[in-house]
Amino acid sequence: MRRLDVSLGERSYPICVAGGLLAEAGAMLAPLLPRPRVAVVSNPVVAALWLGRLRVSLAAAGIEVGEPILVPDGEAHKTLATAYDVVTRLLELNVERSTTMIALGGGVVGDIAGFTAAIYQRGIPYVQLPTTLLAQVDSSVGGKTGVNHALGKNMIGAFHQPRAVLIDTDCLRTLPDREFAAGLAEVIKYGAIRDAAFFAWLETEIPRLLSREPDALIHAVSESCRIKAEIVAADEREAGERALLNFGHTFGHAIEAGVGYGEWLHGEAVAAGMVLAANLSERVGSLAHADAGRLRALLGRAGLPMVAPPLGASNYLELMRRDKKVDRGKVRLILLDRLGSARLRSDVPEEAIEAVLG
């Protein structure tokens, strides 16, 4: 097992990565719980595959597990209405402040569970047990929780750090190929913005990752979590450095909102967004043509979309102006100086953005 820590003082927590970790979850979580009672939030697909194994592990550790709270599968259901339904079930189940919520599922489950944990009785503890690659390397770490609004992604939410993140890479065996590829987009992002050596490793090892070889998966997930944990520890609430994690996301969120949530997977939209951001970085002279080509090539080898949907430059800009990073009306973008190095810029001419949007 590989263990990392998100260093946030008294709110620090471990990230543990291994195959077969669900079978150990009860013993690992028992010392962290205020009382031996949990409420599990999942969706029907994940629950059918993995909830039984988790229940056995929790019961063996003497942890009380009630009826699971199941939310509909898919980004289209990451809404206030779904969060309200979860809160209703928490009340019906007499969940108290000392009960810990467990998010068992992908990014949608984790975001909804974390958000409802943040607002229910003004905050209860929760734990992330992510089952998709995207959730394992990104959304489960860092305490960002929330739901979507029709006018913008993740516009309703809260920062609420988990007590622990337990990552069982065996869960990736049952993940559909499309969702697995979508998770690879976030893995590639970490190398692009922060670690050129990791990016080079991905270029070499992408065939093993696509074959889901266990040691390659554990390394990729651990390194992604290491990079994110370092950035979150330095800037928990995205006052500066944490914004770098949004490389490709300003374009990507516009794609998701523009085509309708759920039509493109988040990682697919981010991949196309990274291509646009790399093209823009090259256009404004901060990124060498060869580096932009390496990023595009790796995304293509991962089976990710390379071309953004034709929403029109004006529509893209309208959606991008609703992004959370907009400051004083200016769209701020994460651009690359080179592979492994990114920065936040608010001085990019609008005509340059329009040019890459076609």
Among candidate residues 89, 189, 194, 249, the one labeled active-site is 249
Among candidate residues 179, 186, 223, 268, the one labeled active-site is 186
In the residue annotation, 315 being an active-site residue is answered as: no
Contact 338/287 with Cβ under 8 angstroms?
yes
Q: Which two tokens stand for residue 269?
A: 């939209």
Among candidate residues 194, 266, 325, 332, the one labeled active-site is 266
Question: Would you say how long the chain is, in residues?
Answer: 358
In the residue annotation, 144 being an active-site residue is answered as: yes
Contact 14/165 with Cβ under 8 angstroms?
yes
Among candidate residues 144, 163, 189, 325, the one labeled active-site is 144
Among candidate residues 75, 179, 223, 238, the one labeled active-site is 238
Among candidate residues 55, 77, 163, 228, the one labeled active-site is 228
Among candidate residues 242, 268, 279, 282, the one labeled active-site is 242
Name the 3-class secondary structure at 11. helix
In the residue annotation, 249 being an active-site residue is answered as: yes
User: For residue 52, which amino acid is it?
Assistant: G
In the residue annotation, 246 being an active-site residue is answered as: yes
DSSP 8-state secondary structure symbol assigned to residue 263: T
In the residue annotation, 228 being an active-site residue is answered as: yes
In the residue annotation, 238 being an active-site residue is answered as: yes
Write the CB contacts of 26 (distance below 8 Å, at least 6 apart in sequence). 57, 58, 59, 60, 61, 62, 63
DSSP 8-state secondary structure symbol assigned to residue 99: P
Q: Which of 58, 63, 269 is nearest to 153 (CA)?
A: 269
Among candidate residues 55, 77, 160, 253, the one labeled active-site is 253
Contact 224/334 with Cβ under 8 angstroms?
no
Among candidate residues 122, 289, 328, 351, the one labeled active-site is 122
Q: How far is CA 258 from CA 269, 317, 347, in A?
A: 11, 11, 25
CA 144 to chain centre: 9
Q: Tell me the catalytic residues.
A: 122, 144, 186, 228, 238, 242, 246, 249, 253, 266
